[in-house]
A and B are shown apart, each in its own frame.
Chain A
């Protein structure tokens, strides 16, 4: 038994197996508690590399942890282990059932136990990787309601962008909303794309997380990054969504994370059957191409890009 590994949830499955949610706990417990969580969506794997690096480095210098750091690689272990975004057999998005209910159905009970265990932490960072369709620059997503409290922490994470979004009722069932409502500050990080690991982004976030730990007084060892990036903040501009005008296959032309001018061709939508170019999709604005289509097959309406334009705001 690894003394650092704790089992938070254990539920019987029908045939000789238990669903277990495990966490690595490093530190003395005397001081702030920071939890790094990921794997709510089973097809989002960018957080796996981050967890690995965090666990490796923390275990190499446990005496440097002044407080507690927890690493949760798989909130939805059945999903991560079976290439399933939701919870297998339930066909549910796990990030729509929080805070759950201890007396509810198994998935609701599991969600409730996870929230119950995380509640009271001084910071939770929930790492996502968009989905299998979209490739994202490293960014934090925070709701308007929590922006004032969380913004200073989000800026420590070595990210490119902080997106402050409107509060939507449907998002009240996410783990971040549930924990923030309980007074447990929780940041959501989105980066990369589903089913892949983008090591460069992972290394950047790991540096950002150690920076966060250091600034919170949880990490007292070297290396702490000398400086981290200064992210753009969505409230200083406007996000433009670009949806595919046709069904077909997307061939990207503009590089991801590039600065684009109005009229720049972002991608083409093509027909592999006829050889026709169905559309040149052009940028309507100038700005940073921070979201780009990764999965080429699209329907009418499929999101293919998001561009952030600083100093530009809609009425």
Chain B
């Protein structure tokens, strides 16, 4: 393992801002793994650290390819992690809206440019990602449909679900999109939670990455082959919306199987505790996304159910 410095930048009053990378294996740019770009992605940082730990262990055992190279960047945004801010602490811009970056531009454009320079040209790219809404997902791989995507290879992670989705206008400036445009087969790995550690889901996630590395022979790790993935389109998810605002009293967790009309949660009056609404499943399926904040607004996405068809 070689520890490398991808970017160092002076700050006005804090310590130097540094992006660290860990290189394993040989010289051929094969897989780049990018951890948190946002300061609330503690789960993603934990997953990245476990990937580094496992690769270090495998390397000691001689189980890492001498030809294929793996780059792990545990985080791109240590400054925001350290002060519990989601976006770049100085100006609240989102590094993952700055790709492919510009090395003569604004600060986060420069950070994005330095990162992109480091991870460009790899055959595969994996981003440990979080969602723009607060909540938990069942661990899964997301593949953006750009015309360059390789959804079939996503099944090699061995996670139960692979979600394909169409890019929105803002996606043209995210890492995953630009990776694909520049020839990298890119995947986003959602590891359950974001700002709290979910140990079991984290383990599923880092094992999925090692499994993927196994599949392309970048490592040779003794590991369960994983699940046969259900590949689906994001618009197949059925959304359960809060019709009332109040206290959200969850009765299910992500990953749980539910039947049509099963109760998912109740919304309670914040003063009297009386039930305002019962949220029920629209289909037989699995709870794919669950809102996790205790208070919920009206017309908010409380759950997403992935229906199972016979």
Interface residues of A (CB under 8 A from B): 11-16, 19, 85-86, 89-92, 96, 103-106, 109, 131, 133, 169-173, 241, 243, 246-249, 273, 297-303
Contact between B170 and A173, CB atoms less than 8 A apart: yes
Min CB gap A94→B, angstroms? 13
Contact between A14 and B297, CB atoms less than 8 A apart: yes
Between A and B, how many residue pairs show CB distances below 8 Å? 101
Q: A14-B245, A302-B90 are in contact. List 8 more A-B contacts (CB 8 A).
A: A14-B246, A14-B295, A15-B270, A89-B297, A92-B132, A131-B91, A169-B173, A301-B106
In the bound complex, residues from chain B placing their C-beta under 8 Å from that of A169 are 169, 172-173
In the bound complex, residues from chain A placing their C-beta under 8 Å from that of B92 are 85-86
Contact residue among A15, A16, A106, A299 (Cβ-Cβ distance under 8 Å from B9): A299
Q: Indicate whether A249 sits within 8 Å of B110 (C-beta atoms), given known contacts A106-B299, A301-B105.
A: no
Q: Indicate whether A302 sits within 8 Å of B107 (C-beta atoms), given known contacts A105-B301, A297-B90.
A: yes
Q: How far is B107's CA from A291's CA once the two chains are assembled, in angstroms?
A: 17
Q: Indicate whether A249 sits within 8 Å of B12 (C-beta atoms), given known contacts A170-B172, A243-B105.
A: yes
Asked if B11 is an interface residue, CB under 8 A from chain A, the answer is yes
Contact between A170 and B105, CB atoms less than 8 A apart: no
Mark each residue of chain B from 84 to 102: 1 if its CB lies under 8 Å from any CB of chain A, else 0. Answer: 0011001110000100000
In the bound complex, residues from chain B placing their C-beta under 8 Å from that of A104 are 301
Min CB gap B305→A, angstroms? 15
Contact between A105 and B11, CB atoms less than 8 A apart: no
Q: How far is B271's CA from A172's CA once the two chains are assembled, in angstroms?
A: 42
Q: How far is B158's CA from A231's CA once the two chains are assembled, in angstroms?
A: 60
Contact residue among A14, A103, A170, A247 (Cβ-Cβ distance under 8 Å from B12): A247
In the bound complex, residues from chain A placing their C-beta under 8 Å from that of B296 are 14
Contact between A13 and B245, CB atoms less than 8 A apart: yes
Min CB gap B170→A, angstroms? 6
Min CB gap A252→B, angstroms? 16
In the bound complex, residues from chain A placing their C-beta under 8 Å from that of B108 are 301
A-B CB proximity, top 7 nearest? A12-B298, A12-B245, A14-B295, A172-B169, A301-B107, A299-B107, A169-B172
Contact between A248 and B295, CB atoms less than 8 A apart: no
In the bound complex, residues from chain B placing their C-beta under 8 Å from that of A246 are 10
Q: How far is B293's CA from A90's CA once the two chains are assembled, in angstroms?
A: 11
Q: How far is B168's CA from A16's CA once the two chains are assembled, in angstroms?
A: 34
User: Nearest chain-A residue to B11 (Cβ)?
Assistant: A247
In the bound complex, residues from chain A placing their C-beta under 8 Å from that of B105 are 241, 243, 301
7 interchain pairs, CB-CB under 8 A: A13-B297, A91-B87, A92-B132, A247-B10, A299-B9, A299-B11, A300-B10
Asked if B198 is an interface residue, CB under 8 A from chain A, the answer is no
The secondary structure that dominates the B interface is loop
What interface size band does chain B fall in? 35 or more
In the bound complex, residues from chain B placing their C-beta under 8 Å from that of A16 are 270-271
Contact between A243 and B106, CB atoms less than 8 A apart: yes
Mark each residue of chain B from 297 to 310: 1 if its CB lies under 8 Å from any CB of chain A, else 0. Answer: 11111000000000
Min CB gap B167→A, angstroms? 9
Min CB gap A9→B, angstroms? 11
User: Nearest chain-A residue to B244 (Cβ)?
Assistant: A12
Contact between B110 and A300, CB atoms less than 8 A apart: yes
Asked if B104 is an interface residue, CB under 8 A from chain A, the answer is yes
Mark each residue of chain B from 103 to 117: 1 if its CB lies under 8 Å from any CB of chain A, else 0. Answer: 011111110000000
Mark each residue of chain B from 156 to 198: 1 if its CB lies under 8 Å from any CB of chain A, else 0. Answer: 0000000000001110110000000000000000000000000
Contact residue among A92, A106, A302 (Cβ-Cβ distance under 8 Å from B298): A106
In the bound complex, residues from chain B placing their C-beta under 8 Å from that of A170 are 97, 169-170, 172-173
Q: How far is B92's CA from A91's CA once the two chains are assembled, in angstroms?
A: 10
Q: How far is B179's CA from A233's CA once the two chains are assembled, in angstroms?
A: 36
Contact between B86 and A91, CB atoms less than 8 A apart: yes
Contact between B169 and A248, CB atoms less than 8 A apart: no
Asked if B223 is an interface residue, CB under 8 A from chain A, the answer is no
User: Nearest chain-B residue to A14 (Cβ)?
Assistant: B295
Q: Indicate whether A12 sits within 8 Å of B297 (C-beta atoms), given known contacts A172-B169, A247-B10, A247-B11.
A: yes
Q: How far is B247's CA from A16's CA once the two chains are assembled, in angstroms?
A: 12
Contact between B91 and A300, CB atoms less than 8 A apart: no
User: Nearest chain-B residue to A132 (Cβ)?
Assistant: B91
Q: How far is B108's CA from A133's CA once the two chains are assembled, in angstroms?
A: 15
User: Nearest chain-B residue to A85 (Cβ)?
Assistant: B92
User: Nearest chain-B residue to A173 (Cβ)?
Assistant: B169
Asked if B83 is an interface residue, CB under 8 A from chain A, the answer is no
In the bound complex, residues from chain B placing their C-beta under 8 Å from that of A172 are 169
